[in-house]
Amino acid sequence: MSNVPENNSAKTNLDGYEILVCVCGGIAAFKAAAMTSMLVQHGCGVTVAMTKNARRFVGSVTFEGLTGRSVAVDMWKRRPPGVQHLDLSDRADLIIVAPATANIIGKLAGGIADDLVSTLLLGADSPVLIAPAMNERMWRHPATLRNVKWLRDNGFLFVDPAEGWQACRAVGVGRMAEPSIILEAIEKQLRSAPPKSRG
């Protein structure tokens, strides 16, 4: 019997895929850091864009260390050539919004673009996977349900939030899905098409 471990690279190798992770303001931002680390370990090239409020929870230096790339935080600090909020999404095979707050979900459904993350999402030319995270009352609010339905109906992908203990001391649906669950959805979506870089 061979002692050579089974080669699972076919299941985990995502070399060549480019991911854009949009991190919004919520305590679940720490899960986005864990997810980013997993993506890098699976071979993805990962770029992170953060809202101002996201940086109140996790610093941009954390994501820079995980990805080896600078973090996009301001639509007015361009990295020439090109327009940053378009360039970032142009090269992405998949855009992930995690944690996706009620605010960013509402902006996207309403066509509002007033910061880097909302602007690049509105100009995205890649599939967008949304991982909501919010208080259970916010998740159940009719406005949130309406916005989520509209986004689903228009082709946006979702990894639904889980039920459990929340930072506000409530228990209910609204916790961002665990990074491993989001990773499964990411792998499924990425494997539906070759990387743009090989197209």
Per-residue pLDDT tens digits for 132-162: 999 889 999 999 999 999 999 999 999 999 8
- Give the pTM: 0.88
Q: What is the mean pLDDT of residues 86-100?
A: 91
| C-beta of residue 124 within 8 angstroms of C-beta of residue 150 | no
Minimum mean pLDDT among 8-12, 141-145, 186-190: which range? 8-12
Q: Is 168 a catalytic residue?
A: yes
According to the model, what pLDDT value does residue 7 have?
A: 43
pLDDT of residue 18: 96
Residue 102 near residue 144 (C-beta atoms within 8 A): yes
Mean pLDDT of the residues in the chain = 88
The least confident of 4-18, 61-75, 119-133 is 4-18
| Band of pLDDT at residue 2, cut at 50, 70 and 90 | very low
The position carrying tokens 């973090």 is: 71
What pLDDT is stored for residue 172 in this prediction? 59
Q: What is the rounded distance in angstroms from the CA atom of residue 85 to the CA atom of residue 75? A: 7
Provide the 10 A C-beta neighbour count for residue 64: 13
Lowest mean pLDDT among 28-37, 129-138, 189-198: 189-198
Backbone angles phi, psi at 57, to 5 degrees: -100, -45
Flag the least confident range among 49-53, 74-78, 96-100, 140-144: 74-78
Q: For residue 17, give the nearest of 93, 111, 118 by alpha carbon.
A: 93
Q: What is the DSSP string of 85-122?
A: HHHHHHT-SEEEEEEE-HHHHHHHHHT---SHHHHHHH
* Average pLDDT of the segment spanning 20-27: 95
CATH code given to domain 16-193: 3.40.50.1950
Which of the following is catalytic: 22, 24, 44, 168? 168
Residue 146 confidence (pLDDT): 98
Q: Is residue 9 over pLDDT 50?
A: no
Tell me the pLDDT tens digit for each residue of 62-87.
999 999 999 999 876 655 445 555 77
pLDDT value, residue 167: 65
